[in-house]
Amino acid sequence: MQVLYIHPDNPQPRLIEQAADLLRKDLLIIYPTDTSYAFGCRLGAKDALEKLKQIRELDDKHQFTLLCRDLSEIANYASVDNVQFKQLKAHTPAPITFILNATKDVPKKLAHAKKKTIGIRVPSNPIAQALLEAMDEPILTSSLILPNRDDIIDDPFEIEELLGNQIDGLINAGVKTTKLTTIVDMTSSQPEVIRQGAANVDSLVL
């Protein structure tokens, strides 16, 4: 496993490029977001996705999320009308995952098997944004929640100790304040909060 020590506020371009290179090789990494550390891999990276599912013990009903640098990429992966787009624009970037109806461009393995939905998130974290910029495409992302543990691990050295032999790369940006994203279902006319996390979305669901 490759460990990259990247500055949380001023990411070094050379190291971001190394991390992006791991993703381009269809490998599985752990990187920081604006809420906590998370798993990340390239869209369509079969081996990395299988590895992620095994580590987290996920089944086919799991709702995956795409990390996008801004809303310009959303139309490729999710169907949004004008009202939804305005709502999304007013609430991004933020620690919010929006559940939207997936387009046909989303690989079947990523869209929710029954609902045909996909999670979309636009982060404000400098490392996550730099990584998305380098990739020039969304990253498949998943919370760093491990089976049989209630907590999310916020210490990169503990992550390295626990998962060092199961992942391919780790961006160490120091200990992070651990929060969960707020999840909002936007698939019906009235947005619904599925999980209240770091972001307050009262203005969205009232």
Residue 74 pLDDT: 85
CB 27 within 8 A of CB 168: yes
pLDDT of residue 206: 64
Cα–Cα distances in Å, from 118 out to 15, 112, 130, 175, 190? Answer: 30, 7, 23, 29, 17
Q: Is the pLDDT of residue 189 over 90?
A: no
Structural domain span for residue 101: 2-204
Please state the pTM of the whole predicted model. Answer: 0.92
Query: Is residue 89 pLDDT above 80, yes or no?
Result: yes
Average pLDDT over residues 100-129: 86
CATH code of the domain in which 184 resides: 3.90.870.10
Question: Of 6-10, 53-57, 198-202, which range is least confident?
Answer: 198-202
Note the pLDDT of residue 13.
Answer: 97
Band of the pLDDT at 73, cuts 50, 70, 90?
Answer: confident
Mean of pLDDT values over 172-201: 89
- Rounded Cα distance between 26 and 10, Å, is 26
Cβ–Cβ under 8 Å, residues 175 and 161: no
Judged against a pLDDT cut of 90, whether residue 111 lies above it is answered with no
Q: In this predicted structure, what is the pLDDT of residue 109? A: 72
Query: Number of folded domains in the chain?
Result: 1
